[in-house]
Amino acid sequence: MAEVQELRYEGKAKRVYATADPGVFEVEYKDDATAFNGQKRGHIAGKGVVNNRMSNRLFRLLEQHGVPTHFIEELSERRTRVRALTMLPVEIVVRNRIAGSLASRLGLPEGTPLAQPLVEWYYKNDALGDPLVSRAHAEVLGWVSPQEAAEVERLALAVNHVLREFLAQQGVELVDFKLEFGRDSAGRLYVADEISPDTCRFWDVATGEKLDKDRFRRDLGGVEEAYAEIWKRVERGLAP
Ligand code: ADP
Ligand code: UDP
């Protein structure tokens, strides 16, 4: 039976609980939505359910392709058992087209294709607004060893390859996404956190319609409908 659990951390989108097993956490997905480093706040009905289920399906797909992830077991529509990890203080963004902060930082049109996938490193620090750094910063500042840095980039590109192919079959283009990594007590690296419309840009191949959190960030309307649509496509593409 479930015992009373210690809330370890409450973030913007999820709660993380300790369990009786020190190697296992439970995450609970909320409907709260934030953007622009917490300046814009809102609520997207049913988002937690979509993000939980979609993350778990995609983590399982990645595992099938040899990418280690934190996923252990879905407990309910909002709750999942995951490996308890020590997170790297970085967010890794992989881009296939120019969009979002890259478009505004360099003054380039959103949608411009990139000649090859681009891996970016950001320092995960809300107070500083998650600043862009380089892989060298992460190594020299001791956040990752050089071996880990290489592994992080290799895994990020593998995730991009697997997800891009799968989503293309569902009529969805993977424009960009953010990953987080953590290590277990033996020092092994895993893809962690979530892979969802909150953390990816998904564009409908036929119409260019945005099926992700940009609908919330940019007040485009149809937010809940977009989350439901992208979940429908992922669910259809992957057996339960
Ligand atoms: P944020 O911290 O950005 O507000 P969330 O609300 O999604 O984000 O909170 C989830 C937190 O849990 C994040 O800080 C994330 O780094 C962390 N996390 C995700 N997966 C794991 C894991 N397997 N082990 C430990 N921490 C994790
Ligand atoms: N992203 C994220 N969390 C962040 C920042 C970015 O999940 O704190 C995702 C975002 O959804 C997009 C990709 O990373 O899929 C690239 O985001 P970008 O740097 O363009 O920033 P944005 O303009 O989305 O804030």
Atom of ligand 1 at shortest range from CA of 82: 23
**Residue 228 CB neighbours (<10 A):** 17
pTM > 0.85: yes or no: yes
**C-alpha dihedral, 34 to 40 to 41 to 43, nearest 10°:** -80
What is the sign of the dihedral through the CA atoms of 38, 95, 26 and 42?
A: positive
Alpha helices in the chain (DSSP H): 47-64, 100-106, 135-140, 146-169, 214-217, 223-237
Question: Distances from the Cα of 156 to the Cαs of 68, 92, 93, 134, in angstroms?
Answer: 11, 8, 8, 15
Whether 34 is in the pocket of ligand 2, judged by its Cβ within 6 Å, is: no
Could you tell which of 6, 14, 91 is best to mutate to test the pocket of ligand 1, judged by most ligand atoms within 8 Å of the CB? 14
pLDDT tens column, 124-171: 999 999 999 999 999 999 999 999 999 999 999 999 999 999 999 999
- Average pLDDT of the residues of the chain: 96
Ligand 1, pocket residues at CB < 6 Å: 9, 11-14, 16, 25, 70, 82-85, 87, 180, 182, 192-193
Q: Examine the pLDDT at 1 and tell me if it is beyond 90.
A: no
pLDDT tens for residues 211-239? 999 999 999 999 999 999 999 999 999 97
Interval between CA 11 and ligand 1 midpoint (Å): 7
* Stretch 14-33: mean pLDDT: 97
pLDDT digits 0-9 by tens, 60-110? 999 999 999 999 999 999 999 999 999 999 999 999 999 999 999 999 999
Q: Rounded to an integer, what distance in angstroms lies between the CA atom of residue 236 and that of residue 145?
A: 39
The DSSP result for 179-232, as a single string, is EEEEE-TT--EEEES--STTTEEEEETTT--B-STHHHHTT-S-HHHHHHHHHH
On the question of pLDDT at 116 being above 60, the answer is yes
pLDDT in the model for residue 2? 54
37 pLDDT tier (thresholds 50, 70, 90): confident
In the reported structure, the alpha carbon of residue 201 is separated from the centroid of ligand 2 by a whole-number distance in angstroms of 8
Provide the CB-side half-sphere exposure for 54 (13 A, CA). Answer: 25
Closest C-alpha among 14, 63, 49 to residue 238: 63
pLDDT at position 196 over 80: yes
Confidence (pLDDT) at 3: 61
Rounded CA-CA distance 115/113 in Å is: 7
Would you state the pLDDT for residue 88? 98
